[in-house]
Amino acid sequence: MADPVPRPASTHKAARRRVPRAVVRVGRLLLVAVVAWLLLRLLRAIDWGQVGYAMTHLAPWQIVVILLVLPIRRFVLATLLALFVTGLSVPRAMVNDVAATSVATIAPSPGDVVVRLAMLRSWGIDAKAAASGLTLSTLMFYVARLAAPVLGFVVFWATRTFYAPFGWAALVFGAGAAALLVGLIYAVRAERTAAALGRLLGTLIRKVRPSAKGPDEWAERLVDFQTHSAGLLKAKGRLAVLGLCGLVIVETGVLVLCLGFVGVPMSGTTILLLACTFLAIYPLTGLPLMGAGVLDASFTAFVSSHSELEPTTMVAGLLVWRIAVQAVPVVVGLLTLAYWRHRDRGGAGHRASHRED
């Protein structure tokens, strides 16, 4: 029997590429199926006429309160960035954050990162300080986002009862938060690893672009970045943890406020249930559009299983919350971005004419 004709190496590589793509497709299909099931389950129990009535009959003072709370939320969000980016004030961090948020909502990543870095450069922030600060603030925010279910589960268990779904959420996401935190601590202390990674990166870049900087230069860059980040984390880490705790509390408070304004009857027990449920599913805000649909359906399902609250009223409150924390910041962010670009162009033109003189 003749030996089979060997396939070329390119065929094997193509086959290896198809396997991950197949896995990604299956994962997407499963996610779509879960989202569809949750949404259908939610939509069946909703009186959309009542939802519209609840949303359009907010009192003027309630709208004013929501609008006043939004800058507080943005202030807390921006404080973490201002802590880690040397030379950045909190007001400018708020401008940077709201502009990047608007870009991230309507355009794919890393457009928001490009906007952040461009703004920081225009304000005279050192490139190394900007990159280190953005990286640390982003990673610390994800640690808090993944750790929130642990807090929600512990508080709910201590004050109400043990709830297995909250326990699983705390276990899975808490493990992710711990792994991310350990990896972050290791990364900012591993100078040798940074140097080795820099040399590897420099070698790969040199193969693609022979005129680029070599391995030693890249190793020096990454070690410098790692050393700077380690110093920032050591100096500002405790304040960052306090800021992240404040962030989670404010985020939860804004949602509870919106739910109360549309007619959800508030009591100590209800507030505790709403807050713990939101904390348990808080990682879903990391999905596109802050988990629109998935988070709303999960929140309504968990709350309904422990209370007699109307799903219709909860959906109305969630929609008001989304308008407040998503739609309003996008509008403000786009206006802010347009104003910054106008000022930046004017400043660039002035600097160019000054050099010509």
- 21-71 pLDDT, tens digit per residue, is 666 566 666 666 666 666 666 556 566 677 776 777 788 999 999 999 999
Average pLDDT of adjacent 10-residue blocks, the chain of 357 residues: 49 48 65 62 63 78 92 90 88 91 78 86 86 86 92 92 88 92 77 67 68 66 71 82 89 93 89 94 87 85 85 88 90 89 65 50
Q: Which amino acid is at 36?
A: A
pLDDT at res. 102: 87
Count how many residues are written for the chain: 357
Tell me how far apart the alpha carbons of residues 104 and 169 are, in angstroms, rounded to a whole number: 26
pLDDT at res. 13: 46
Q: Which amino acid is at 274?
A: L
pLDDT at res. 23: 64
pLDDT at res. 17: 47
Burial category of 189 from C-beta neighbours within 10 Å (exposed 0-12, middle 13-18, buried 19 and up) = middle
Tell me how far apart the alpha carbons of residues 59 and 294 are, in angstroms, rounded to a whole number: 29
pLDDT at res. 297: 85
pLDDT at res. 272: 93
Per the listing, tokens 């820099």 go with 198
pLDDT at res. 75: 92
pLDDT at res. 229: 73
Tell me how far apart the alpha carbons of residues 95 and 256 are, in angstroms, rounded to a whole number: 26
Which residues make Cβ contacts (< 8 Å) with residue 280, sequence separation at least 6?
Answer: 148, 149, 152, 153, 156, 165, 166, 169, 170, 302
Tell me how far apart the alpha carbons of residues 62 and 260 are, in angstroms, rounded to a whole number: 10
Per the listing, tokens 């099931």 go with 37
pLDDT at res. 308: 85
Q: Which amino acid is at 79?
A: T
pLDDT at res. 202: 67
